[in-house]
Structure 1
Amino acid sequence: MLTLFRWLLRLTVGLMILIVLSAGLVWYFAMRSLPNYDGRFSVQGLDSPVEIVRSTENVPHIFARNDTDAFFALGLVHAQDRLFQMTLLRRAAQGRMAEVQGPQALAADVLVRRLEIYRSAQASFDVQDDATKAALRAYADGVNQWIRIVNEGAMGRGAPEFFLYPDVITFWQPADSIAILKLLAASSTTAAADEILRARLSLAWPERGPELIDGPGVPSDLPSYSSIFPDRRLGIPERRRDPDAVRNQGTFLSPTLPVGGNVFGAGPQRTAAEGSLLANDLQTGLTAPSLFYLARIELQGGGVIGATIPGMPLVLSGRSPAFSWGIAPLHIDDADIAIEEVQPGNTNRYRGPRGWTEFETRTETIRVLDGGARTVTLRATQNGPVLSSLDPGLADVIPIGHVAALRWTGLSRQDTTMSSLMALMRSDTAAEAGRALSGIVAPALTVTLADRKQVLRLAAGAAPERGGNHPTAGAMPSPGWLPETAWLGATSLAAEPQGPAVALAFDTDEDPALGMRHKRLEKLLGDRDVHSRDSFIAAQLDVVSPAARALLPLVGADLWFTGEPAAPGTPERQRQDALTLLAEWDGAMNEHLPEPLIYVAWMSALQDRLIRDELGPLADDITQLQPGFIDSVFRNSGGAGAWCNVIQSAVTEDCALIARQSLDRAILDLSARYGSDVASWRWGDAHQARHIHPGLGALSALGWIVNITQSISGGEFTVARTGLLATGPQPFEAVSGAGYRGVYDLADPDSSVFITSTGQSGHPFSRHYDDMAGLWRRGEYVGMSLDPDLARAAAVGVTVLTPTD
């Protein structure tokens, strides 16, 4: 027995030593990949020495003697801090995520291959202007030089994640940057998804279903979807969306969390210092690190500083000494679903306008981690690629014996968006920058430009031209064989800025729901005669919900202060307490208050109760609050009050009853989560922002290290927007938000400020991995000066690149 004890003791001690040694080895190799910002490197591809000064917040200031060397250095610093992020974005654009993430990423890879995003990027490189081609090549050379430095110096493979993934880091190609821009475009449009959802709603309730969601260009007399396909068999819409799919994204850009943003400006007539102001925030899925990376590049035309995305040599939002620019996705209908009939008995042919036509077909092989290789057959029609997994609900709207194809402006192989954004960044004046926008294809953008004297707001992108006899005006899928559904062409939205200086300009949106946020912004800008940088910051961080202010008086009209006070501890008393709090609330979605939590839970329960009996399982897929719909129902606009009646019940319910029942349901659920004391609830306890590391964040042990969690204010319809998960056990979790914020002051340019949601480094063991997260949460910023002396004064490191002899 004693011998057994001794052997068990030895085994335990040995295992402990092995664990300590393994942990030490992991730590050693992980720390090897932390870059030394005081390094001096001899590199190939430079014409002259380059100095990279890292400011206190690790923002690189790149000083080069020519533009080619500057873009080379930008590629190197991107790879230095975000190599894993860059390779993951590239894999997503190439359809090669399954190689490192296994079968769960296969569907996304197949979709990207069907869309031919990378093939389109390769073809589009040839149509870029010479300056852009040179910048893309120089950027790629810089990335590849850092990979060479990592390999030759045994620097931990460049990022600790590469020790956990079976990944070989291939050299960067110029087309890789264009592919990431196309991936950004795919994540900036919801047009196709809206078409599909609108058709599913029409199938569920032809008379009223589509009014649940609205959008730009949707005709009021939209026909029922089933009438568009007479004599074709369509199924009953089912629940199709996976509640976990929204959060378990495997990359930094995903159509399930579309890119959004706000941009607004004021001309010198409306500013205290008589110089224009511009504010911009870019909203994405919350990831660690953020999608965005702050950088300054000294170009021959002057310095530029602002938000970049690692993988592209672009400052997407920022400023130069002469002017500033901000962008936001422009919500236009830039995509259509074409339903194609497959020839009976011959699946290789489909019905075209002139009869049965052969599909364009090719096969591709996708390697899957731990699953071998999968061969997929990719087909296309004259309308575009044939899709099966564009949206989970697509299967509901495809008649039996048919397939769906996608028309989308982003499929263009003559896409000069990269050249236009490059020209915008390198322009000398705001007017010149405006003229550069004509080549933007996708994503469609609202671009606001400001110099000391004026603010200009322009739309940019390719807008499809549809005939007046199109059966759905592009609002729902339509028969691909009908000539009237074909696009007549595409119109460039960009126009040369004209007219006098604009005093106030702000991003507008034709979507009524999102428009509520912009109306709030319009009020904030209009309430002051004179603006300053601080007032713009306050507007950008505003957390008052216009949706709450609009809906609560309407929904609760018959519930306020009715009846005698109920006994403490009863459900009736909880309802009265909740209504009392909401009656005195100003709509601020403050993390320390209970009212936002009560409001969101109530409206969510109300919307579900209104649509559940008419839509059935499809209601599970309607997770985002639709304030315009609820407003129409409670005002009975066009008979929309019919949604309040529960079809399955014998009695006829009115909207006041549904509102009370929904509030009781919400209070019951919140009490189970947070206790019975309504006044003790806090929005921030439920509204947690989880910045998840793509790839490692889903692993419980590593997720604790690489994910960043913090409670925040705001909501779906506040200017400082945070998108809600709206499903599953944590429905109030924030899944998207402003990954980047910037406020640019043209009266005193070096007082401009910016911030990202996490930090500059993608290395979890770097102090710059999350050092901006606390500032971002508190609504603070860091300076964005172009003064080289200021950058050097508090530098955390200076890297010198010299040409190889």
Structure 2
Amino acid sequence: MAKLWLKRLVLAVLALLLVTVLGLWFFLRGSLAQIDGRRTVAGLSGNVTVSRDDRGVPSISGGDRNDVAYATGFVHAQDRFFQMDLLRRMPAGELSELFGEKALETDRINRLHRFRARATQAIDAMPVADRQLLERYTAGVNDGLNALGNRPFEYGLVGVAPRAWALEDSFLVAWAMYIDLQVTGIGRELARGWLKEHASAEQLAFLLPSSTQWDAPLDAASAPAPDAPIPARAPDWWGKGVAKEPATLAAAAFVDGVGSNNWAVSGKRSNSGGAIVSDDMHLGIKLANTWYRLLLQVPAQHGSTRRVVGVSIPGVPAVVAGSNGNVAWGFTNSYGDYVDLVEAGSAKDRPGQVKLPGGWETPLEHAESIRVKGQPAVTLKVRETSLGPIMQSGGRDYAVHWVAHEMKAVNLAIRHMEEVDSVAEALALAPKVGMPAQNLVAGDSDGNIGWTIVGPLPQRPATPVDASYPLSANGSTRGWQGLLPAAAYPSLRNPAEGQLVTANSRQLLGADSVKLGDGGFDMGARARQARDALAALGEKTDEKGVYSVMLDDRALFISQWRDRALAVLDAEAVKGRPQRAELARLLKDNWNGHASVDSVAYRASRSFMWSLYELLYGGANIELAKLNKDANMRAASSRWPVVLGRLLDEQPGGWLPQGYADWQALQLAALDRTIAHLTAGGQPLASATWGARNTASIAHPIAGAVPMLKKWLSVPPDQLPGDSNMPRVAGPAFGQSERMTVSPGREEQGLFNMPGGQSGHPLSPFFLAGHADWVAGKAAPLLPGPAAHTLTFTK
């Protein structure tokens, strides 16, 4: 009898488990997008068709632009609503409502800027036509959300109901990009401010060169090498505060968060006579991918139709980068100086007031309520001055004077890129677009190419003022004032060499450079390599040739650090040191000149450079981390490898840290540090390949909260070639968020891939569609394939 009851109990448990699994399965399937059928929609002017190919890429066709916006909102919501929700909540400081107390610190930081309130004001100021389009897009988003059989699966896991989309949420998505692309400027200013207080003027001039020989500016053939003299002695913090024999190497895990490439060749260098534009924006990569592919068939003048193809960002009803048949365009982050920190003074006899360069003032106070899941709301007091909200760091108050706070920081003007017919029109539109200031590279079907900045630029004094340090409350300099007028934007068109390249580094050396400032330019090695690789394609090229430059993983920059390592590992240095001898052998025999997955030599050379960084800058970084999460010596200047190179070449005694007999001993300590990291856990040095370190760890945000689902919410652990300081930027969760090459009017020959698929749902066949192409660098067609599914909206 006991066995019978045990058997029944086991069967009951199995039945309950089966019911639970089936219930979960049907719940998950209920939130899959509708991809076939017909839907009747009030407010449409005519029918709209959404045709998807076998990868889920939609082609949206309609006779009215607002109807197309509605359908765009519908598919965005059905495929990506949770992603959209995170994109609006992050800048608004509303993540705690989903994730509880663990998101509260992030919310406090972002709520300081009161972007939701600013978004409401910006919506009120919209042009009528843009507002109507956004209203139809918003209606499509909410209808798409409500049409799902179940709420998106993520909300079932976090236990919160989704909230309807509002007009201002689309503007918050744009502010999310400001935070992603510009907010690190705050950490940079704090780092440089600390450095200014802990170094002499001569030391600063040496440690912070404004450009290097690696730069590839648009307005000059090259940039001069830094020539500031090396001072007689180093700052007091130099070479202090880091253990000499660590078990791990923190810097080896560092992958530059700076990236994006775009370039264009003019018609005189293309086989077709039209320009060719290539763009690969580098971002942190998650599932779903930042970008959502689509093709729009929209009304044009005189009753014709215009085809616009490229990438959108869920939450915004526009193609962000792509081609409209006449003009193709793409972006890279410009890294100009768009934020000033202005010290806010105080006095006992002026309670409630702050001192700024313009005088004393009384900040406005706002009580911001942050909802926290499962807990009472938290109130944050925000003090707003004429120069921006006040933040605290290192016991000081600073007004954050950031372009993102301007009324014109965000608008919907990017949608008008689909209407421009020439490079000249694209460059004229750029200053009117409300988005984080980017390098715009465009080309048209007549073969013209051009560059300018798209997005608002601060108006800085004609006389250069170094505003990359915090400004004093007692000084006369208030930093930037107002926005640069459109007529003053720097631009270039049709250079004699027939190409334009940007890659986050210094764009200009001439007089116009002061209009941008330096907000953390990349060093320039990547831009230089891309420029030279593009030139090497010869007098004539095509889309495949231009695309191939994005996959250039030659280790031109790191090769110098391999050479330095080999020079240090001489016969005396390796005598009786088998691991040093093994490293020297691998640096010689395993080097193929690329950041390839099987290269130990690349990984070791790179780690050698970063080991020196830790030994020399590590103490300063410990202090800077107390000020801001983005404050470090790398933020203060990306050109530190050039500074170290000069020291290793000249070997001044006053810069050799205590505890080292000579510069050779310091470099050997860095190499021993590298060996200790690469062999941690007993791993043989020969198996410490770059691929073992550079393994994809791209996952859905929910994967961290629900580890048991990680397998189904992550990409395979592919080993990735490429790295920073070369065109093929690749890190475990950072890199080329899309690759696109297109000649306007020849979109059929356009090339594309991206790391994730169209859907954010793991049960969708489109979840990882195209991922394998991205890993391999295989170029797929830019245009969607034949229709495999059709959804029609009727009025």
Task: Report the TM-score range of the alignment, normalised by the length of the smaller protein.
Answer: 0.7 to 0.9
Please report how far the alpha carbon of residue 335 of structure 1 lies from its aligned counterpart in structure 2 after TM superposition: 0.3
Q: Which amino acid aligns with 1:171?
A: A
Taking the TM superposition and a 5 Å limit, the aligned residue runs for 1:368-379 are 368-379=372-383
- Contact 1:289–1:760 under 8 Å retained in 2: yes
Specify the SS of the correspondent of 1:558. helix
- Contact 2:267–2:275 under 8 Å retained in 1: yes
* Deviations 1:216-273 (CA, angstroms, capped at 9, x unpaired): 89x9999xxxxxxxxxxxxxx999xxx9x99xxxxxxxxx996741110101211233
- Structure 2, gaps ≥5 residues long: 213-225, 230-239, 243-247, 301-305, 507-519
* Deviations 1:134-154 (CA, angstroms, capped at 9, x unpaired): 22111111112213323xxxx
* Aligned residue number for residue 423 of structure 1: 416
Taking the TM superposition and a 5 Å limit, the aligned residue runs for 1:89-488 are 89-150=87-148, 155-157=149-151, 159-189=152-182, 190-206=184-200, 208=203, 260-301=259-300, 302-344=306-348, 348-353=352-357, 356-388=360-392, 395-396=393-394, 398-399=395-396, 403-415=397-409, 417-419=411-413, 421-452=414-445, 453-467=447-461, 473-488=466-481
* Aligned residue number for residue 721 of structure 1: 729
Pair 641,309 (structure 1): closer, same or farther in 2 beyond 3 Å = farther
Pair 211,166 (structure 1): closer, same or farther in 2 beyond 3 Å = farther
- Distance (whole Å) between structure 1 residues aligned to residue 200 and residue 713 of structure 2: 47
* Aligned residue number for residue 664 of structure 1: 672
* Aligned residue number for residue 545 of structure 1: 555
How many residue pairs are counted as aligned between the two chains? Answer: 733
Specify the SS of the correspondent of 2:729. coil
- Distance (whole Å) between structure 2 residues aligned to residue 785 and residue 501 of structure 1: 31
| Alignment counterpart, residue 795 of structure 1, candidates 783, 787, 793 | 787
1:684 pairs with 2:691: yes
Pair 322,771 (structure 1): closer, same or farther in 2 beyond 3 Å = same
* Aligned residue number for residue 20 of structure 2: 22
1:31 pairs with 2:24: no
Please report how far the alpha carbon of residue 79 of structure 1 lies from its aligned counterpart in structure 2 after TM superposition: 0.9
Please report how far the alpha carbon of residue 126 of structure 1 lies from its aligned counterpart in structure 2 after TM superposition: 3.1
* Aligned residue number for residue 645 of structure 2: 634
Specify the SS of the correspondent of 2:702. coil
Q: Which amino acid aligns with 2:671?
A: L
Please report how far the alpha carbon of residue 215 of structure 1 lies from its aligned counterpart in structure 2 after TM superposition: 5.9
* Aligned residue number for residue 710 of structure 1: 718
Please report how far the alpha carbon of residue 608 of structure 1 lies from its aligned counterpart in structure 2 after TM superposition: 0.8
Please report how far the alpha carbon of residue 9 of structure 1 lies from its aligned counterpart in structure 2 after TM superposition: 5.5
Please report how far the alpha carbon of residue 591 of structure 1 lies from its aligned counterpart in structure 2 after TM superposition: 1.2
Pair 291,615 (structure 1): closer, same or farther in 2 beyond 3 Å = closer
* Deviations 1:510-537 (CA, angstroms, capped at 9, x unpaired): 1664311000001101112222211112
- Structure 1, gaps ≥5 residues long: 223-236, 247-255, 389-394, 724-733
Report the more deviating stretch, 17-26 or 164-173. 164-173
1:601 pairs with 2:607: yes
Pair 298,537 (structure 1): closer, same or farther in 2 beyond 3 Å = same
Pair 441,82 (structure 1): closer, same or farther in 2 beyond 3 Å = closer
- Distance (whole Å) between structure 1 residues aligned to residue 173 and residue 71 of structure 2: 19
* Aligned residue number for residue 507 of structure 1: 502
- Distance (whole Å) between structure 2 residues aligned to residue 770 and residue 119 of structure 1: 36
- Distance (whole Å) between structure 2 residues aligned to residue 561 and residue 783 of structure 1: 51
Report the more deviating stretch, 86-95 or 121-130. 121-130
Specify the SS of the correspondent of 2:412. helix
Report the more deviating stretch, 263-272 or 197-206. 197-206
* Deviations 1:760-795 (CA, angstroms, capped at 9, x unpaired): 111011121112211110002321238xxxx4xx32
- Contact 1:127–1:414 under 8 Å retained in 2: no
- Contact 2:287–2:714 under 8 Å retained in 1: yes
- Contact 2:327–2:443 under 8 Å retained in 1: yes
TM-score, length-normalised on structure 2? 0.85
Taking the TM superposition and a 5 Å limit, the aligned residue runs for 1:535-614 are 535-553=545-563, 555-556=564-565, 558-559=567-568, 561-563=570-572, 570-581=578-589, 584-586=591-593, 588-612=594-618
TM-score, length-normalised on structure 1? 0.84
Please report how far the alpha carbon of residue 33 of structure 1 lies from its aligned counterpart in structure 2 after TM superposition: 1.3
* Deviations 1:120-166 (CA, angstroms, capped at 9, x unpaired): 2221223333332222111111112213323xxxx011x21121223
* Aligned residue number for residue 229 of structure 1: none
* Deviations 1:170-191 (CA, angstroms, capped at 9, x unpaired): 3322221112112212211232
Q: Which amino acid aligns with 1:506?
A: V
- Distance (whole Å) between structure 1 residues aligned to residue 241 and residue 619 of structure 2: 13
| Alignment counterpart, residue 65 of structure 1, candidates 55, 63, 66 | 63
- Distance (whole Å) between structure 1 residues aligned to residue 228 and residue 692 of structure 2: 44
Specify the SS of the correspondent of 1:743. strand
Please report how far the alpha carbon of residue 308 of structure 1 lies from its aligned counterpart in structure 2 after TM superposition: 0.5
Q: Which amino acid aligns with 2:190?
A: I
- Distance (whole Å) between structure 1 residues aligned to residue 698 and residue 597 of structure 2: 17
Q: Which amino acid aligns with 1:782?
A: A
* Aligned residue number for residue 216 of structure 2: none
- Distance (whole Å) between structure 1 residues aligned to residue 117 and residue 648 of structure 2: 48
Pair 412,612 (structure 1): closer, same or farther in 2 beyond 3 Å = closer
Pair 221,134 (structure 1): closer, same or farther in 2 beyond 3 Å = farther
- Distance (whole Å) between structure 2 residues aligned to residue 490 and residue 356 of structure 1: 24
* Deviations 1:104-128 (CA, angstroms, capped at 9, x unpaired): 2112222322212122222122333
Percent of residue pairs identical: 21
* Aligned residue number for residue 522 of structure 1: 531
Please report how far the alpha carbon of residue 206 of structure 1 lies from its aligned counterpart in structure 2 after TM superposition: 5.0
- Contact 1:456–1:502 under 8 Å retained in 2: no
Q: Which amino acid aligns with 1:606?
A: L
- Distance (whole Å) between structure 1 residues aligned to residue 559 and residue 61 of structure 2: 50
- Contact 2:123–2:168 under 8 Å retained in 1: yes
Report the more deviating stretch, 294-303 or 714-723. 714-723
Specify the SS of the correspondent of 1:716. coil
- Contact 1:202–1:210 under 8 Å retained in 2: no
- Distance (whole Å) between structure 1 residues aligned to residue 11 and residue 335 of structure 2: 63
- Contact 2:450–2:491 under 8 Å retained in 1: no
- Contact 2:57–2:294 under 8 Å retained in 1: yes
- Distance (whole Å) between structure 2 residues aligned to residue 442 and residue 347 of structure 1: 38
Q: Which amino acid aligns with 2:606?
A: V
Q: Which amino acid aligns with 2:46?
A: S
- Distance (whole Å) between structure 1 residues aligned to residue 52 and residue 417 of structure 2: 25
Q: Which amino acid aligns with 2:475?
A: L
- Distance (whole Å) between structure 2 residues aligned to residue 314 and residue 574 of structure 1: 55
* Deviations 1:576-609 (CA, angstroms, capped at 9, x unpaired): 2133236x542x1011222222122222212111
Specify the SS of the correspondent of 1:119. helix
The alignment's C-alpha RMSD in Å is 3.3
Please report how far the alpha carbon of residue 503 of structure 1 lies from its aligned counterpart in structure 2 after TM superposition: 1.1
- Distance (whole Å) between structure 2 residues aligned to residue 524 and residue 430 of structure 1: 24
Specify the SS of the correspondent of 1:337. strand
| Alignment counterpart, residue 706 of structure 2, candidates 691, 699, 707 | 699
